[in-house]
Amino acid sequence: MRLRRRFERIVIRFTSSMNLRRKVLILYVAIIFIPTILLGVAAGYLALESFRANYLVTINEAMRQTVQNIEFRKQSYDVLAIRTATDGELISRLSRDYSNMFEQLNTVEYVDRSFVFTSKYLPGIDDFRIYHTNPMLVQDGRLLWKSEERMLLPGLSETEWFTKAKQAARSLSWSNVNKDKLVISHKISAPSGHLLGIIYMPLDYKTVFGKLFDRPFSGSGELSIIDESGNIIVSSDPKKIGLTVQTTSLSENYEEASVTGGLMVNGNLFMVKPIDSKWQVAAVIHMDQLEKQSKTILYGIILVVFFFLLFSTFLMMTVLKNVVWRIRKLGTRMYDVSQGQFDVSIRNTEKDELGELEILFNSMSGRLGKLVEDITQANLKEREQSFKALQAQINPHFIYNSLSLLRWRALDLQDETQLKTIDALTAFYRLALDNKINVTHIQGELEHVKAYLDIQEMRYPGRVRMEWNIDQELLNLYTIKLLLQPIVENCYLHGNITGRKDAVIRISVEMKHGNVRLEVYDNGRGISEEVLEQIRSGKRVGNGNGFGTANIRERLQLYFEDRHEFTIESKENEWTAVSISIPACVQRPQIRKDV
């Protein structure tokens, strides 16, 4: 305590003869300027060290994701080639003897019918052919071919390509042609092992792998794909495409990196990651470039901080020239306000920061009511954000990407049921996960309910009959988002509608007494009087809160105040009817201020 008081006396004695300008300047330099410089340098050094420590973690993660992406793309094209080459009917037709032209025509029609759209399944497939060895079967020039001396690829005839593919050790093989095209070939063999033909599927290099190999690691590295024979078939360096590993700069460290997974050589990180298909992905990351970028960013931040510290000092000194006496005058008027005199004012002729403060002071009394209103509005915004926060817990992009992948798989399998289910889910989540809107047209709300009902129909086919009584003239009016779907969901979750014989759900939208009336009726198991009273009073029911009705009531109150009606009628073991009446809104409804 004594030490503190002694230090305070020293500071006061040292600054007592100084004016406010010098006092503030010394305080600024001692408390802000010098500590900021020291902390900035220390933080910059620690940040640089942290960058270095996290390089390998970031690079390993980027490498892992790249390998997974490459593997997924390769497997997609492999599956397409394998599925065609192992088609039992195709093998049977390529191996049989043909006695007349009618049988050959039948085979040609089968091949065209079964594989004509194969090149459309995946992007980047330039062509698709089946070269066969059956001397008794024709070639139609579309899918069925025989290897002849025609030029197939630049510098490569059909016969030469067929011979190379036939001599390949594996049935499925990839090769690079002219550094801008990849060719997938797959042998078609009879059960006895006799070669019946070879699948020919050329791919566009840029479409399949171009984006992955465009400036890998932000331009600070190189990336290559090496097949099981040691050939580089894809690379970010076009000069290496088509060469073997042993003839490139990768040869010195390739074997060791394949064993260890990563190797630091002359400031470069050399990494080799295997793919399940016996391919390997080799990467060379120039660590010195990454370090240089980090240092450049760090030095730039330090210079900017230093510049703004000096600039802020200049501004502070300028403001202090004209601020002291005006602060004293403002203090006098503020004392008057503290005594309850709100009609006081200060004559203002300046338009600087303190002048703005004087203007604000002069309007303070008149703004008290406005401030109260602003506080109320802020509370309403906070409640609205809570609804958005609930919706934002699901990552829409993740769901859409997942549904897109599932749809592609279902399309590949030609499963119409899966396609309908995925399309219904997509339509359902399009509105449910749109966090940017809280109101929608009645038509959009009905489409959302329809998507949900389509999903339930696929789960319980034919169990529930739907009846729609919709006034088409009301579809373009506005309503609250997610108003009907939770009610319809209750028909299944709580009404046990699927367990009823002759189950029916009736949805009505009509104009009544100048308001829009929305009703959901079902002949499920109904609600007991005790539970119905709890729902109407807003008490908790079971593990839920009024079967989801509390949230609907609250949002109706936010947007329509007392100009809405929400009623639930039910007879146990017979029926339930939920009715909502809202104003007919041609314009988007807004949250009410006085809720």
Specify the 3-state DSSP secondary structure of 523: coil
Least confident residue range of 22-26, 96-100, 157-161: 22-26
Instruction: Quote the tokens at residue 312.
Output: 């802020």
The DSSP line for 209-259 is IITTTSSGGGGTEEEEEE-TTSBEEEESSGGGTT-BGGGSTTHHHHHHHHH
Residues 151, 154, 157, CA angle at the centre, nearest 5°? 30
Burial classification of residue 146, based on how many CB atoms lie within 10 Å of its CB (0-12 exposed, 13-18 middle, 19 or more buried): middle
Alpha-carbon gap, residue 400 to 482, rounded angstroms = 19
Looking at residue 468, its pLDDT comes to: 93
Q: What are the CA-CA distances from residue 461 to residues 10, 456, 464, 467 (Å)?
A: 88, 8, 8, 16
Three-state SS sequence of 470-498: ECHHHCCCEEECCCCHHHHHHHHHCCCHH
State yes or no: pLDDT of 88 exceeds 80.
yes
State yes or no: pLDDT of 372 exceeds 50.
no
Residues of the chain with CATH 3.30.450: 86-209
> Per-residue pLDDT tens for 278-314?
788 888 887 776 666 666 777 777 787 777 777 777 7
Position with higher pLDDT, 427 vs 520: 520
In the chain, pLDDT over 70 holds for what percent of residues? Answer: 74
- Tell me which H or E stretch contains 43: helix 34-85
Phi, psi (rounded to 5 degrees) for 188: -110, 115
Query: What one-letter code names the amino acid at 495?
Result: G
Pick the CATH number of 437-583 from 3.40.50.1000, 3.30.70.980, 3.50.30.20, 3.30.565.10: 3.30.565.10
Position with higher pLDDT, 524 vs 433: 524
- Tell me which H or E stretch contains 366: helix 364-391
State yes or no: pLDDT of 342 exceeds 60.
no
Local structure of residue 499 (DSSP, 8 states): G
Mean pLDDT over each residue of the chain, to the nearest integer? 79
Are 122 and 138 spatial neighbours (Cβ–Cβ below 8 Å)? no
Q: How large is the average pLDDT for residues 59-82?
A: 87
Pick the CATH number of 86-209 from 3.30.450, 3.30.950, 3.40.1620, 3.40.630: 3.30.450
Position with higher pLDDT, 527 vs 28: 527
> Per-residue pLDDT tens for 205-221?
888 887 888 888 777 78
The DSSP line for 275-338 is -TTS-EEEEEEEHHHHHHHHHHHHHHHHHHHHHHHHHHHHHHHHHHTTTHHHHHHHHHHHHHHH
Edge-to-edge strand list for the sheet holding 565-571: 464-470, 503-512, 515-522, 575-583, 565-571
Alpha-carbon gap, residue 213 to 73, rounded angstroms = 13
The DSSP line for 131-165 is EE--TTS---SSSEE---SSEEETTEEHHHHHHHH
- pLDDT-derived band at 507 (thresholds 50, 70, 90) equals very high
Looking at residue 537, its pLDDT comes to: 74
> Per-residue pLDDT tens for 243-273?
888 888 887 777 777 777 777 777 788 888 8
Alpha-carbon gap, residue 402 to 103, rounded angstroms = 45
Alpha-carbon gap, residue 485 to 432, rounded angstroms = 10
Position with higher pLDDT, 160 vs 47: 160
Looking at residue 546, its pLDDT comes to: 45
Looking at residue 499, its pLDDT comes to: 86
**Beta strand 464-470 pairing with 262-265:** unpaired
- pLDDT-derived band at 369 (thresholds 50, 70, 90) equals very low
State yes or no: pLDDT of 29 exceeds 80.
no
Closest alpha carbon to 58 in 184, 217, 212: 217
> Per-residue pLDDT tens for 136-183?
999 888 899 999 999 988 888 999 999 999 998 889 998 887 777 889
What does pTM read for this prediction?
A: 0.45
Specify the 3-state DSSP secondary structure of 434: coil
Are 411 and 405 spatial neighbours (Cβ–Cβ below 8 Å)? no
- pLDDT-derived band at 419 (thresholds 50, 70, 90) equals low
Looking at residue 84, its pLDDT comes to: 92
Specify the 3-state DSSP secondary structure of 394: coil
Are 320 and 354 spatial neighbours (Cβ–Cβ below 8 Å)? no
Looking at residue 200, its pLDDT comes to: 94
Owner of token pair 């090149």: 119
> Per-residue pLDDT tens for 584-593?
998 888 876 5
Q: How large is the average pLDDT for residues 84-92?
A: 92
State yes or no: pLDDT of 319 exceeds 70.
no
Burial classification of residue 94, based on how many CB atoms lie within 10 Å of its CB (0-12 exposed, 13-18 middle, 19 or more buried): buried
State yes or no: pLDDT of 567 exceeds 80.
yes
Position with higher pLDDT, 132 vs 371: 132
Q: How large is the average pLDDT for residues 344-368?
A: 65
Looking at residue 132, its pLDDT comes to: 93
Local structure of residue 261 (DSSP, 8 states): S
Instruction: Quote the tokens at residue 90.
Output: 């195709």
